[in-house]
Homo-oligomer: A and B are copies of this chain.
């Protein structure tokens, strides 16, 4: 339902802040945005919705950080395909109380994240309602000439890597992460990426996604998994390894390459300023964690079965 006056005033505020972009033929304020995408490039399309109380707490995070995260999680999805982000549209359901101020801060946060990756914000839909803040961002990107990297191309014998330390993102990194767009593009040029995913559900779950789509299994090496310093600060009863495997919202990339390419990557570290970690291998089937040369079943939830 339209929210007259307020919505149009906000669109005007927003249009004044929208820089010219040669790829954007029609920006905010018409029935649809119009884009000039690269001819023959494969277009990528992803969407993510964030809900107050579930994906963030507005009162703690503030709307600007929520805007950055809402754009960031979509940028991370385009990174996971080794694509270039181009343009985003944003729809929001704003609480009636203070909605306009929230909308402006949200937009500034969205733009901070988008600007860092040369991504235009080209339109949206602004609503007020009696519920909590909800924001949905859809991002259009383009695959490079090498094509998009799927989850489905891993094979037994591939080496598995992650782009950074994992776990404990709930302490703040889930709001402040840097999407690995540039790193993915650089990796895509350097090696043949067989499969890739961004770590949003947790390393165990996301490696399991790769396995399911690739019809293979994986073994992760417990001592190789890089554990973020934040995990120590959590100080709860679960092991640091389980946090690194299960917490999620790290927004690092996990990917599979051939053994040869894996060795090459280790020899040319760091890549785009990041230290890559070789965390395991693809195998024929199952999801496993290996420690002291013993393999134990690993649940996609990150739960490590004891041996008995």
From 34 to 84 in chain A, residues with beta carbon under 8 angstroms from any chain B beta carbon are 34-37, 39-40, 42-49, 51, 53-55, 77-78, 80-81, 83
A240 within 8 A of B: no
A113 within 8 A of B: no
Q: Given A4-B205, A248-B2, A42–B29 Cβ distance below 8 Å?
A: no
Assess whether A32 is in contact with B51, with CB atoms less than 8 Å apart: no
Assess whether A26 is in contact with B148, with CB atoms less than 8 Å apart: yes
Q: Given A26-B148, A26-B150, A91-B136, A43–B49 Cβ distance below 8 Å?
A: no
Which residue, A33, A92, A202, has most C-beta atoms of chain B within 10 A?
Answer: A33
Assess whether B30 is in contact with A151, with CB atoms less than 8 Å apart: yes
Interface band, chain A: 35 or more
- C-alpha spacing A204/B53, complex, angstroms: 39
Could you pull out 5 A-B pairs where Cβ atoms are within 8 angstroms?
A1-B55, A1-B249, A26-B150, A51-B127, A54-B93
Which residue, A51, A92, A198, has most C-beta atoms of chain B within 10 A?
Answer: A51
Chain B residues, Cβ within 8 Å of A35: 42-45
Assess whether B131 is in contact with A53, with CB atoms less than 8 Å apart: yes
A134 within 8 A of B: yes
Q: Given A37-B43, A89-B46, A148-B34, A131–B29 Cβ distance below 8 Å?
A: no
* A85 to chain B: closest residue by CB: B32
Q: Which residue from B1, B32, B45 sits with its C-beta under 8 Å from A78?
A: B32
Q: Mark A128-141, 1 if CB is under 8 A from B, else 0.
A: 11111010101111
A291 within 8 A of B: no
Assess whether B89 is in contact with A138, with CB atoms less than 8 Å apart: yes
Assess whether B45 is in contact with A25, with CB atoms less than 8 Å apart: no
Counted per complex, copies of this chain come to: 2
Question: In angstroms, how far is the closest chain B Cβ from the Cβ of A154?
Answer: 13
A201 within 8 A of B: yes
Assess whether B34 is in contact with A81, with CB atoms less than 8 Å apart: yes
Assess whether A44 is in contact with B49, with CB atoms less than 8 Å apart: no
Q: Which residue from B83, B123, B148, B205 sits with its C-beta under 8 Å from A45?
A: B123
A285 within 8 A of B: no
Q: Which residue numbers of A lie inside 8 Å of B, CB to CB?
A: 1-2, 4, 25-26, 29-37, 39-40, 42-49, 51, 53-55, 77-78, 80-81, 83, 87, 89-93, 122-125, 127-132, 134, 136, 138-141, 143, 148, 150-152, 196-198, 200-202, 205, 213, 248-249, 300-301
Chain B residues, Cβ within 8 Å of A123: 45-47
Chain B residues, Cβ within 8 Å of A30: 81, 150-152, 213
- C-alpha spacing A201/B5, complex, angstroms: 11
* A73 to chain B: closest residue by CB: B125
Chain B residues, Cβ within 8 Å of A83: 32
* A35 to chain B: closest residue by CB: B43
Chain B residues, Cβ within 8 Å of A93: 49, 51, 54, 134
Assess whether A32 is in contact with B80, with CB atoms less than 8 Å apart: yes
Assess whether A54 is in contact with B140, with CB atoms less than 8 Å apart: no
Assess whether A141 is in contact with B32, with CB atoms less than 8 Å apart: yes
